[in-house]
Structure 1
């Protein structure tokens, strides 16, 4: 999700370090329904245009959360508990805090510096997600300024424009160094390197990358090709995705989401050999689109990827709470009917350390239990059932 959608700088001091052999911490204190401990072991694979897990097709409903790498253990556990209770299979989170700390946690304060204490929360999230039977997708940088991202890299190396992130050789080297450090790290709770941990389904090169200075899409494509190949040489276990919003580059189109103006050519990225699956996002409130357009957007991406690679509606949000449940029911039903591989709503949040709900900063918050959570849980059951079909 882009920077203008939310403010993301809240933090309550977390719990003390727990060793891998310590007692499991108490979560939210609410009834612990829906545990799925031990479910979903093994690496997710891609065969043709489908995901597979444990030898069976893997269709999923999931979610996103952006604070898993710096909030308290209690808050992390609460989100994971609620995701499991809803029957979700996957959570997408951030794997970057560049430059300034998020109230005490930083993963890369400057290039080539990776303070071990900054990784405690992400270690904890990976460990606990496994306990809840959840897969993770971890994005490795951000198109937007939240938590540093591409603009922080550009500042570090004296650049003047966002898109130098993709072309500056020093920046590309620094990004690769960070990615390699992240993948090779050994989780303090599990003793397992991230690159060997099947809890993680996929690495994402970036959250919502755009390169508007090159409307041909070639600059972004070249960068994605380079970085996806780099990761695959390091890590043959995990899938790689771009993390983009699904913008097309279609000749003769005037719609800004389809005419290449964002420097993204979704179908071209789909063809790259080391990109395992495609993603697309959906925010009609921010994009100025109506609901009929949204339905076409979902169908077009699933149909355009069919026979090529899996495709996931990776982020979606709709602000009108009076009609949201029906809108989400419609969107997720399209994913199901079109045999899309998965979808992940933005965003599941839980409680804060004082027991109050995490604020609805961007207007897209989903909490459990709620009517919206019930709609999404029903969809999750249908997607899991499809994966059990022979």
Structure 2
């Protein structure tokens, strides 16, 4: 494994030598120095009054890798991942900060939280380790605290904890779509479930890092706390029944986080229009006057039926055009709200939908370059689209089974969550063409700082 790490790390060394990237210079900060926190100024992020624009990745499993437990942890790999990403110019990681022990088939196991009690302290110790290592590399974290989807337990699991185990599992053919989002949206109006969640928010924001001695709420490494991964107000077929509860939950939860961690930003984790009953007004209302500091949106051409990997010649260009319009639409929302926005999830599978790391990434590379071009244009014009996080960073990970499925007890994490094929959207450390595109984008973004 060490030989593999070393060989793949040479790819970034090559990029350094040819000038695609430059190693970032770490700027140490004092934990009590309020100027070191990421701020919002108009439609921009700033640090110490200077623009903060970033190239980021999703690495949901970072705290798991940081654990010292033999079944899930691999601190040597985590350090290699961070070195690799830092050398590329990546300065932002979007990380899972909560997981719930669940009866859902595809929920990650082990999980941090069980019925409101911390069951796996070692995973939080892993988050301690991750934050300390990120700080050494001048990286910032966006930590999401819940999940609308099943793969980390999430809102459906909270509901099951307070209603005698009742749950809807999206993997169960007896409860076809959209039964799951309709069920899960009940979370917003169930006070016992939201109270358990708020209890976790209190615990995580006040946690004192076991390695640095700094409380999470006082650590500028944490750019933002995020209410949840892709929280949806139900499903459009259900007549917006939970929309008022959704808005109220956003406002109440954002207010709570701000009262506990006033120096850190709060974001929603929204997909944008496609995750908000396909309603532009829903997006605007979810971000306006609710205590949310900046806007997020996600972009999934395949999941939303725009692109078919088995028919790329027929579907790719039209899907890319639709994606461009989606980006433009959300830039306009951010302009209207007067806040920055981040495309914090976007991805595409390998050619023909293959999972193998050896499969080509022709269309993914084209898509990444296209999206990055839109961000570069916004940054050059002083626009609100100022950052991105690819979904997802697989790095030095690899699928452990021939069918590319995740199984409980697997300790080798890639970017894809448990309900998806391991390798579906993962970018690995040996994806040289993709990494070159990301590194060049990072260099351009630095020029706009």
TM-score class, shorter-chain normalisation, is 0.7 to 0.9
The answer on whether the counterparts of 2:23 and 2:88 sit within 8 Å (CA) in structure 1 is no
Aligned residue number for residue 315 of structure 1: 345
- Alignment of 1:198 onto 2:249: no
- Alignment of 1:137 onto 2:142: yes
Bigger helix fraction: 2
1:227-283 superposed Cα distances (whole Å, 9 cap, x missing partner)? 00110111111000000100269xxxxxx97347xxx91111121341000000001
One of 332, 341, 354 as aligned partner of 2:372: 332
User: Which piece of structure 1 moves more, 123-132 or 72-81?
Assistant: 72-81
Distance 1:39 1:348 in 2: 25
The answer on whether the counterparts of 1:37 and 1:130 sit within 8 Å (CA) in structure 2 is no
Q: CA deviation at 1:365?
A: 1.4
TM-score (normalised: structure 1): 0.83
SS of aligned partner of 1:189: coil
Distance 1:221 1:73, change over 3 A: same
User: Which piece of structure 1 moves more, 93-102 or 149-158?
Assistant: 93-102
Q: CA deviation at 1:110?
A: 1.9
Distance 1:354 1:111, change over 3 A: closer
Aligned residue number for residue 187 of structure 1: 209
Aligned residue number for residue 269 of structure 2: 243
Distance 2:271 2:28 in 1: 27
Distance 1:379 1:257, change over 3 A: farther
The answer on whether the counterparts of 2:398 and 2:413 sit within 8 Å (CA) in structure 1 is no
- 1:1-390 aligned within 5 A: 28-29=5-6, 30=9, 36=24, 38-39=26-27, 41=29, 42-71=36-65, 72-99=74-101, 105-113=110-118, 116-158=121-163, 161-212=183-234, 213=238, 215=240, 217-247=243-273, 258-259=278-279, 265-289=282-306, 290-306=319-335, 308-319=338-349, 320=351, 321-338=361-378, 339=383, 340-352=385-397, 358=414, 361-369=422-430, 370-387=432-449
The answer on whether the counterparts of 1:349 and 1:366 sit within 8 Å (CA) in structure 2 is yes
SS of aligned partner of 1:265: helix
Distance 1:276 1:386, change over 3 A: same
The answer on whether the counterparts of 1:64 and 1:315 sit within 8 Å (CA) in structure 2 is yes
1:76-129 superposed Cα distances (whole Å, 9 cap, x missing partner)? 2222122101101101010012115955x5321222445533411111111111
The answer on whether the counterparts of 1:61 and 1:344 sit within 8 Å (CA) in structure 2 is yes
Distance 1:86 1:227 in 2: 35
Distance 1:385 1:371 in 2: 22
The answer on whether the counterparts of 1:111 and 1:174 sit within 8 Å (CA) in structure 2 is yes
Ranges in structure 1 where 5+ consecutive residues have no aligned partner: 1-26, 250-255
Distance 1:368 1:137 in 2: 22
Distance 1:224 1:218, change over 3 A: same
Distance 2:271 2:123 in 1: 29
SS of aligned partner of 2:100: coil
For these two proteins, the number of residue pairs brought into alignment is 352
Distance 1:164 1:232 in 2: 24
1:272-302 superposed Cα distances (whole Å, 9 cap, x missing partner)? 3410000000010110121110000011101
Distance 1:94 1:334 in 2: 27
Distance 1:115 1:271, change over 3 A: same
Distance 1:36 1:206 in 2: 30
Q: CA deviation at 1:218?
A: 2.5
Distance 1:257 1:343 in 2: 23
The answer on whether the counterparts of 1:37 and 1:131 sit within 8 Å (CA) in structure 2 is no
TM-score (normalised: structure 2): 0.72
User: Which piece of structure 1 moves more, 355-364 or 293-302?
Assistant: 355-364
Q: CA deviation at 1:38?
A: 2.6
Distance 2:292 2:43 in 1: 12
Q: CA deviation at 1:178?
A: 0.2
Distance 1:149 1:273, change over 3 A: closer
The answer on whether the counterparts of 1:280 and 1:313 sit within 8 Å (CA) in structure 2 is yes
Distance 1:245 1:353 in 2: 27
